């Protein structure tokens, strides 16, 4: 059977959604009859910090997309991973049809969400990272499918040997989500006080600004693709705090899944998809307030056997339901259906 040709247009190569929702599927999809050309952005979709550069940033960013748009008209399908310019719908409608929009965040909470509605209406299918996102986008697109963010379980795997170092509590992510981590500071301070051998490690694009933690017990590791796996493997406990709300419910629990893939039990806020993963097996603990966070972290620090058991359960769950091989099969079917138009058009894809 002939392969279908798909052009996947995403944010830059270091953007998590670009890497994990599109980029890592190039080879797996080829085994399922889909030739995916990944076109990451040469210019960031997010405005520069220096305000005087912003008037130049928008036209330069959009102009850099023109060659990719031309490519889509030579393909069977366009796959858009979110918007070209953060919080704006611009020239996405110039891409070739059929068009599939992939989303892994509640992007509609920014600037009133009109741009998210427009992108959905101009697409023939929306692929959403969880049920909460799917429900919202179903109001604007006739065909919405749920597809979790996949983990490369060959790359993210448990360490070959158990660490003999002091137990490390860790958090990995982008600095834009530091607000969730900083709300956890009182609980972290108590845990470090009660367990003097424990350490806290943060892997991100810049150091967090803690106000009351003993900084000689906090390690900062600059994030890079080369370090992200070994960092998670070094942890005894992985953290994923969230504050309940639309943005948090739109999260696809990818931080949690990466911990579990490496055999690291997670302590997480029971919000959105986190609840679904916790319900799927004994892979971690839920915590909603300071007392629960302290109790969960201390209990896991004190019980290595329980950590190991939950980590093994988590690894098994990710391999069976969230691995690249499993998710690629579902993604290939969605893309083939969209390319064939067998589900019925949304009636609004224009090029």
* Helices 254-261 and 304-321, axial angle in degrees (round to 10): 110
Q: How far is CA 85 from CA 45, 51, 54, 154, 318, in A?
A: 5, 16, 12, 33, 32
C-alpha span between 331 and 127 (Å, rounded): 9
Average pLDDT, the chain: 93
* pLDDT band (50, 70, 90) for residue 24: very high
DSSP-assigned letters across all residues of 197-257: T-EEEEEESS----SSS-GGGEEEEE--TTTHHHHHHT-SEEEE----SHHHHT---HHHH
**The pLDDT value given to residue 270:** 96
pLDDT in tens, 220-239: 999 999 999 999 999 999 99
**Does the 168-321 domain belong in CATH 3.40.50.2000?**
yes
Cα(139)–Cα(116) distance, integer angstroms: 11
pTM: 0.91
Average pLDDT estimate for 282-287: 97
Query: Tens digit of pLDDT for each residue in 117-168?
Result: 999 999 999 999 999 999 999 999 999 999 999 999 999 999 987 765 779 9
Q: Which residues are within 8 A (CB) of 293 and not within 5 positions of it... i.e. 6 or more apart?
A: 184, 187, 191, 241, 267, 287
**Per-residue confidence (pLDDT) for residue 348, from 0 to 100:** 56
pLDDT, position 166: 79
Asked whether residue 344 carries a pLDDT value surpassing 70, the answer given is no
> Other CB atoms closer than 10 Å to residue 107's CB: what's the count?
21
% of the chain surpassing 90 pLDDT: 86
Class of domain 4-150+324-340: alpha beta
Domain range annotation of the chain? 4-150+324-340, 168-321
pLDDT of residue 1: 57
346 pLDDT above the threshold of 60? no
Res 345: pLDDT = 47
Do 4-150+324-340 and 168-321 show the same overall fold? Answer: yes
- Per-residue pLDDT reduced to its tens digit, 29-66: 999 999 999 999 988 888 887 888 878 888 999 999 99
């Amino acid at each position: 059977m002939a392969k279908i040709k798909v052009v996947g247009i995403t944010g830059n190569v270091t953007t998590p959604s670009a890497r994990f929702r599109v980029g890592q599927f190039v080879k797996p999809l080829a085994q399922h009859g889909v030739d995916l050309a990944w076109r990451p952005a040469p210019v960031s979709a997010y405005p520069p910090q220096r305000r005087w550069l912003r008037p130049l940033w928008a036209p330069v960013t959009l102009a850099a997309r023109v060659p990719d748009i031309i490519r889509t008209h030579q393909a069977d399908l366009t796959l858009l991973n979110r918007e070209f310019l953060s919080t704006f719908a611009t020239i996405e409608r110039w891409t070739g049809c059929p068009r599939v929009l992939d989303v892994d965040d509640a992007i509609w909470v920014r600037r009133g969400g009109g741009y998210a509605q427009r992108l959905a209406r101009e697409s023939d299918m929306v692929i959403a990272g969880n049920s909460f996102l799917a429900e919202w986008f179903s109001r604007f697109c006739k065909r919405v499918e749920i597809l979790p963010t996949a983990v490369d379980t060959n790359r993210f795997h448990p360490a070959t040997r158990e660490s003999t170092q002091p137990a490390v509590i860790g958090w990995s992510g982008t600095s834009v989500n530091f607000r969730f981590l900083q709300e956890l500071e009182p609980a972290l301070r108590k845990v470090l006080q009660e367990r003097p051998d424990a350490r806290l490690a943060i892997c991100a694009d810049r150091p967090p600004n803690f106000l009351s933690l003993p900084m000689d017990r906090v390690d900062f590791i600059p994030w890079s693709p080369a370090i992200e796996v070994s960092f998670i493997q070094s942890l005894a406990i992985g953290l994923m705090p969230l504050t309940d709300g639309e943005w948090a419910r739109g999260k696809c629990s990818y931080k949690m899944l990466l911990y579990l893939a490496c055999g690291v039990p997670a302590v997480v806020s029971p919000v959105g998809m986190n609840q679904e993963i916790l319900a799927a097996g004994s892979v971690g603990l839920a915590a909603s307030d300071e007392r629960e966070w302290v109790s969960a972290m201390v209990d896991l620090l004190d019980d290595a056997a329980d950590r190991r058991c939950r980590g093994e359960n988590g690894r098994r769950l990710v391999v069976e339901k969230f691995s690249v091989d499993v998710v690629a099969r579902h993604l290939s079917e969605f893309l083939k259906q969209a390319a064939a138009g067998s589900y019925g058009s949304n009636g609004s894809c224009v090029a």
